[in-house]
């Protein structure tokens, strides 16, 4: 026997026992008190010291029926009668962590098999079931110190870097088993988590009622017993939506357009600048605690890290394959969005140098453009990864919003939360309360005014020797979230405001009485001359105090193309008040070591005709005319201006004369059609479809057959589909209970394992003006 984290794990017969247990799962609508879940694999105990809620812990196999996952399930206190199913909250851990529970289980210093989340007891007492798991490659789900790491149950249990086809699908499958067991309501599931847990939460919301197979195909999300499953609400925290951009930004993300993909509209935007200190810290912590695999090119975390470390030029097939992999299967933004995501409350931090606010704005703007009535809200504060302060009051306020979000969408309690943006500002010193909350109906309306700096004088960002570039400056060390003095991890840290070598500097006049409040993305519009496409521009916006110190307020990394170009580049968004007498200063550096990796091939970069635009909360005309009406947005070729920036009412944020831009994005829709014969097994109907036209296809398909009574018709199968433009998909549509009985009965006729039913297919496709109805035979097979 192997003991760890308070759980007993048999080393022999583990797979066989779990297969039997899973086969015994039933799906009651309500039942007597639960004593175990996952077919007996996770036993439940009453927790008197935690309000008598029940904790169920153990190991079970995931969807591949081969890989073990360490799970926790928490249930409300017993009522003495029948119980369940409950609305369920999926609570997911961060990078380097493990499943969440009522207490922390730490068998050795620095090694954790369970992490405490104090919200779990509260949720269970409020009538929710709570699910948590150690993701593949972490803790006792085949992490480095799992005693079974070399056994067959861990052969595929390595870290896939939050792959939609593996870690995300693990969560879907394990939650769906709870639905079959009568623990969870299949359509009332909420998900939340921070960082790595935020990444899985936002992916689950983007998938909503679909799951992704290992070949990348999207199919309806159903439980093993055929229940339709759906995420009803999500509250991701500190999440990425594009992992390639988050770890190696190229500066092409814009908060005022509908679609900000990594490679841009042309697909040719360059690979960006590696966030060196953060990427290395993440890799090394994973090396110490997780389980990497170097033989699978689709999960080659060590290989990806080495390629980024090698540096420029990033033009080889290997780096392009890496970016393609990271965007296709590890980033929620690139999940087929022919279907609206679940209602989302996205929380992000102003001073989060790993997954900054622009990570959620990317998904927010596209969702608002494509699904304007779909609920999506932002909660922005100094609450996130390093250098964030994470003040208790800000954390508490967000948890209040999360509670209301889940209560409405999972339990039907309270008014429908409106789509909105809520912001609390960064304040210093650390003891000062955050200012706000400031609320608006959308992102642009937070900042009705703009403070601008214009400089026509050319300045040169000079490259140094490799030795010079490798050595961080004093400010580089202090402003780095990982390396350097501990104080450097806090946004309120300051250093002497000394002139930086080889840097282009731009300073506004000292802020007048009353100061002004930055609320949004500092934006640089300039002409850039770079003789090589392998250089970089590291930007920092600092607050220079009258006493001669400077504090980092916002930063960003940009990869220029070779030659002359018109650059529009946004630093990470921030909410911060520049006090009277303080100077907002922009620094453009050849690198921001150790935060951003220096370029192997850096050349001198000349910047001219620069305009710095700071979105502010003050109204146009205030502060003696310093605050102006926001200038028309610069929309690069191929991008579409977000709808909220098209027109603004008088005094509204981001307003002014509507800019001359392309019209709002038009969401193109294709039409799906049948491409082959219908087949069915004992579980599902297979419908071969193809999407034609200029856009993606989505809709609902159903097949009916004559009722056994001879009167009327019975629905054999019914489900939803979504298909990328020009793609083929065999939609796996779950059989209804009545349909399953019909198919099974026909299959059991002696000597006849293949039968045909006369069916009527109805295709209710978003791209068709009317429902497509076809008489088609359904060929029955004996498989599953």
Residue 113's nearest CA partner among 159, 145, 76 is 145
CB neighbours (10 Å) of residue 742? Answer: 21
How far is residue 317's CA from residue 299's CA, in Å, rounded to a whole number?
A: 17
Q: List beta partners, residue 57.
A: 43, 72
Residue 272's nearest CA partner among 636, 637, 599 is 599
Residue 389 has which token pair? Answer: 């302060």
Residue 57: CA count within 13 A, CB half-sphere: 21
Q: Tens digit of pLDDT for each residue in 640-662?
A: 999 899 855 433 444 333 333 33
How far is residue 261's CA from residue 271's CA, in Å, rounded to a whole number?
A: 12
How far is residue 175's CA from residue 379's CA, in Å, rounded to a whole number?
A: 27
Q: List beta partners, residue 223.
A: none
CB neighbours (10 Å) of residue 67? Answer: 21
pLDDT over threshold 60, residue 667 = no
Residue 22: CA count within 13 A, CB half-sphere: 22
Residue 312's nearest CA partner among 530, 564, 479, 540 is 530
Range with the poorest average pLDDT among 24-28, 536-540, 670-674: 24-28
How far is residue 680's CA from residue 686's CA, in Å, rounded to a whole number?
A: 6
What are phi and psi for residue 179, nearest 5 degrees? -65, -45
Instruction: Write the DSSP string, 5-55.
Output: TTEEE-SSSHHHHHHHHHHT----SSBSPPSEETTTTEEEEEEGGGTTEEE
Range with the poorest average pLDDT among 73-87, 90-104, 489-503, 632-646: 489-503
Residue 100's nearest CA partner among 192, 30, 178 is 192
Which 8-state DSSP code applies to residue 83?
B
CB neighbours (10 Å) of residue 586? Answer: 22
pLDDT over threshold 80, residue 254 = yes
Residue 656's nearest CA partner among 648, 666, 667, 664 is 648
Which 8-state DSSP code applies to residue 681?
-
Residue 692's nearest CA partner among 669, 712, 713 is 669
Which burial class, exposed, middle or buried, applies to 193 when counting CB atoms under 10 A from its CB (0-12, 13-18, 19+)? buried
The answer to whether 14 touches 59, Cβ cutoff 8 Å, is: yes
What per-residue confidence (pLDDT) applies to 102? 97
Mention every residue, 6+ apart, whose C-beta is less than 8 A from residue 8.
1, 2
Residue bearing the bigger pLDDT, 653 or 321: 321
Residue 364: CA count within 13 A, CB half-sphere: 29
Distances, alpha carbon 301 to alpha carbons 120, 171, 434, 525, in Å = 32, 21, 38, 36
pLDDT over threshold 80, residue 110 = no
Mention every residue, 6+ apart, whose C-beta is less than 8 A from residue 403.
none
pLDDT over threshold 80, residue 150 = yes
Q: Tens digit of pLDDT for each residue in 440-497?
A: 999 999 999 999 999 999 999 999 876 666 778 888 988 999 986 655 468 998 999 9
Quick one: pLDDT band at residue 618, thresholds 50, 70, 90? very high
What per-residue confidence (pLDDT) applies to 66? 98
What per-residue confidence (pLDDT) applies to 14? 36
How far is residue 209's CA from residue 219's CA, in Å, rounded to a whole number?
A: 9
Distances, alpha carbon 475 to alpha carbons 61, 81, 245, 472, 528, in Å = 49, 64, 24, 8, 25
Residue 668 has which token pair? Answer: 């193109």
Quick one: pLDDT band at residue 771, thresholds 50, 70, 90? confident
How far is residue 448's CA from residue 644's CA, in Å, rounded to a whole number?
A: 13
pLDDT averaged over every residue in the chain: 89
pLDDT over threshold 70, residue 242 = yes
Quick one: pLDDT band at residue 23, thresholds 50, 70, 90? very low
CA 297 to chain centre: 22
pLDDT over threshold 90, residue 584 = yes
764-778: average pLDDT: 78
Quick one: pLDDT band at residue 6, thresholds 50, 70, 90? very low
How far is residue 166's CA from residue 296's CA, in Å, rounded to a whole number?
A: 13
Which 8-state DSSP code applies to residue 162?
S
pLDDT over threshold 80, residue 423 = yes
The answer to whether 376 touches 337, Cβ cutoff 8 Å, is: no
3-state secondary structure of 460: strand
pLDDT over threshold 70, residue 752 = no
- Residue for token pair 């990427």: 279
Greatest CA separation found in the chain?
92
CB neighbours (10 Å) of residue 25? Answer: 18
Residue bearing the bigger pLDDT, 725 or 546: 546
pLDDT over threshold 60, residue 143 = yes
Residue 546 has which token pair? Answer: 């009258």
Which burial class, exposed, middle or buried, applies to 770 when counting CB atoms under 10 A from its CB (0-12, 13-18, 19+)? exposed
What per-residue confidence (pLDDT) applies to 383? 98
Instruction: Write the DSSP string, 558-589.
Output: E-PPSEEEEEEEEPPPEEEEE-TT-EEEEEEE
Q: Tens digit of pLDDT for each residue in 514-530?
A: 999 999 999 999 999 99
What per-residue confidence (pLDDT) applies to 86? 98
The answer to whether 185 touches 86, Cβ cutoff 8 Å, is: yes
The answer to whether 443 touches 452, Cβ cutoff 8 Å, is: no
Percent of the chain with pLDDT over 90: 72
Radius of gyration of the chain (CA): 27
pLDDT over threshold 80, residue 666 = no
Consecutive H or E run containing 198: helix 196-207
Percent of the chain with pLDDT over 70: 90
3-state secondary structure of 152: helix
pTM > 0.95: yes or no: no
Residue 164's nearest CA partner among 241, 234, 90, 96 is 241
3-state secondary structure of 301: helix
Q: Tens digit of pLDDT for each residue in 199-235?
A: 999 999 999 999 999 999 999 999 999 999 999 999 9
What per-residue confidence (pLDDT) applies to 10? 32
pLDDT over threshold 70, residue 288 = yes
What are phi and psi for residue 16, nearest 5 degrees? -60, -45
Quick one: pLDDT band at residue 756, thresholds 50, 70, 90? confident
């Amino acid at each position: 026997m192997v003991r760890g984290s308070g759980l007993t794990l048999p080393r022999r017969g583990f797979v066989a026992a779990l297969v039997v247990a899973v086969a015994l799962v039933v799906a009651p609508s309500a039942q007597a008190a639960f004593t175990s879940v996952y077919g007996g694999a996770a036993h439940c105990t009453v927790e008197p010291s935690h309000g008598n809620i029940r904790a169920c812990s153990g190991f079970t196999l995931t969807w591949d029926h081969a890989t073990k996952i360490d799970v926790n399930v928490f249930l409300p206190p017993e009522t003495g009668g029948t119980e369940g199913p409950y609305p369920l909250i999926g609570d997911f851990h961060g990078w380097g962590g493990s499943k969440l529970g009522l207490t922390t289980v730490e068998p050795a210093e620095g090694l954790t098999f369970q992490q405490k989340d104090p919200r779990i007891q509260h949720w269970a007492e409020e009538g929710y079931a709570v699910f948590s798991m150690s993701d593949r490659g972490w803790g006792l789900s085949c992490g480095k110190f799992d005693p079974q790491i070399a056994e067959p149950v861990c052969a595929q249990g390595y870290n896939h870097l939050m792959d939609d086809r593996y870690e995300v699908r693990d969560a879907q499958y394990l939650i769906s088993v709870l639905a079959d067991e009568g623990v969870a309501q299949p359509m009332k599931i909420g998900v939340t988590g921070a960082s790595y847990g935020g990444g899985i939460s936002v992916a689950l919301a983007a998938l909503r009622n679909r799951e992704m197979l290992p070949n990348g195909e999207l199919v309806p999300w159903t439980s093993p017993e055929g229940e339709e499953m759906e995420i009803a609400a999500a509250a991701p925290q500190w999440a990425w939506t594009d992992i390639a951009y988050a770890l190696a930004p190229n500066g092409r993300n814009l908060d005022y357009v509908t679609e900000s993909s990594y490679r841009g509209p042309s697909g040719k935007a360059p690979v960006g600048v590696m966030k060196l200190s953060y990427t290395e810290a993440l890799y090394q912590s994973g090396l110490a605690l997780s389980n990497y695999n170097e033989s699978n090119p689709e999960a080659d975390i060590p290989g990806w890290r080495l390629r980024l470390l090698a540096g420029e030029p990033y033009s080889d097939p290997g780096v392009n394959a890496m970016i393609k992999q990271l965007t296709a299967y590890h980033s929620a933004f690139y999940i087929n969005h022919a279907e609206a995501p679940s209602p989302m409350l996205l929380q992000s931090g102003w001073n989060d140098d790993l997954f900054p606010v622009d990570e959620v704005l990317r998904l927010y703007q596209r969702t608002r453009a494509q699904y304007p009535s779909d609920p999506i809200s932002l909660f922005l504060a100094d609450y996130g990864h390093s250098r964030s302060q994470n003040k208790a009051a800000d954390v508490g306020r967000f948890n209040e919003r999360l509670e209301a979000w889940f209560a409405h969408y999972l339990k039907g309690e309270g008014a429908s939360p409106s789509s909105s943006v809520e912001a609390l500002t960064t304040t210093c010193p650390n003891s000062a309360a955050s200012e706000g909350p400031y609320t608006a109906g959308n992102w642009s309306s937070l900042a009705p005014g703009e403070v601008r700096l214009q400089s026509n004088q050319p300045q040169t960002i000079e490259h140094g020797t490799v030795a010079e570039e490798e050595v961080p400056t004093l400010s580089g060390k202090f402003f780095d979230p990982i390396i350097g003095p501990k104080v450097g991890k806090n946004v309120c840290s300051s250093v002497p405001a000394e002139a930086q070598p080889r840097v282009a500097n731009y300073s506004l006049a000292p802020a007048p009485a009353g100061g002004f409040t930055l609320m949004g993305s500092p934006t640089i519009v300039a002409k850039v001359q770079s003789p090589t496409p392998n250089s970089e521009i590291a930007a920092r916006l600092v607050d220079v105090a009258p006493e001669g110190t400077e504090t980092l307020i916002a930063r960003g990394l940009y990869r220029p193309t070779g030659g002359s170009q018109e650059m529009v580049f946004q630093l990470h968004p921030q909410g911060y008040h520049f006090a009277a007498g303080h100077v907002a200063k922009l620094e453009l550096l050849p690198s921001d070591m150790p935060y951003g990796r220096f370029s192997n091939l850096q050349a001198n970069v000349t910047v001219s005709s620069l305009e710095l635009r700071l979105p502010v909360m003050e109204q146009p005309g205030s502060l003696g005319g310093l605050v102006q009406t926001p200038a028309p947005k610069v929309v690069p070729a191929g991008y579409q201006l977000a709808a909220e920036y098209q027109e603004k009412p008088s005094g509204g944020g981001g307003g002014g004369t509507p800019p001359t831009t392309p019209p709002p994005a038009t969401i193109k829709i294709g039409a799906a059609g049948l491409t082959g014969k219908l087949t069915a097994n004992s579980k599902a109907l297979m419908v071969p479809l193809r999407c034609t036209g200029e856009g993606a296809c989505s809709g609902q398909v159903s097949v009916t057959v004559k009722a056994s009574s001879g009167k009327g018709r019975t629905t054999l199968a019914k489900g939803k589909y979504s298909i990328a433009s020009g793609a083929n998909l065999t939609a796996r549509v779950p059989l209804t209970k009545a349909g399953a009985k019909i198919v099974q009965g026909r299959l059991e006729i002696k000597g006849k394992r293949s039968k045909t039913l006369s069916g009527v297919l109805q295709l209710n496709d978003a791209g068709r003006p009317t429902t497509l109805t076809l008489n088609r035979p359904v060929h029955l097979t004996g498989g599953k």
